[in-house]
Structure 1
Amino acid sequence: MPIDKPEDWKMLLAKPDKHWKSGCSAKALAYSWQEANGFPESVKKAFINSNIKLFREMRMIFAFPEYKVPLPGGNVSHKMIFL
């Protein structure tokens, strides 16, 4: 679903009432990525400095603010991933 503003990210979180707070990473990342309109400068710089040609040519197609992944030990964690 297209996202127009950082507040739109809230509805995509697994626990929006718990994680959508000032000072929490989910909200901070939403503002950072949304304002960048693509990859934030720090992420672009990391890709460029990686010395991996493919990373220098990366462009965002889809971004998922949160995605459940199994972790060793049986716990399910919510990780922010961008594709």
Structure 2
Amino acid sequence: MADAEMQKLIKRINELAHKAKAEGLSELEEIERKDLRHRYLEKFRESFRSQIEMVQVFDKAGKEITPKKVQDVQRKKGLRD
């Protein structure tokens, strides 16, 4: 569902970008574009943070070297012992 919402945001942002280049945007469209960009960045950061929180890093010898900060977040969310 989040992916579908991101696709809608991207589609509308691109529509406004094309219109801005072709004929310019009205004041309301400028506000909408700013809001859409803000929402897109929020969702992107949320998704990226979630991906990072799920990562475990191992060295060549197989020893886990996941940063302590990430391990702490994982423990807090119940993703690790």
TM (norm. structure 1) is 0.25
Instruction: Compare CA radii of gyration and give the structure with the larger one.
Output: 2
* RCO comparison, higher one (Cα < 8 Å, 6+): 1
TM (norm. structure 2) is 0.26
Between Structure 1 and Structure 2, the one with more strand by share is: 1
Between Structure 1 and Structure 2, the one with more helix by share is: 2
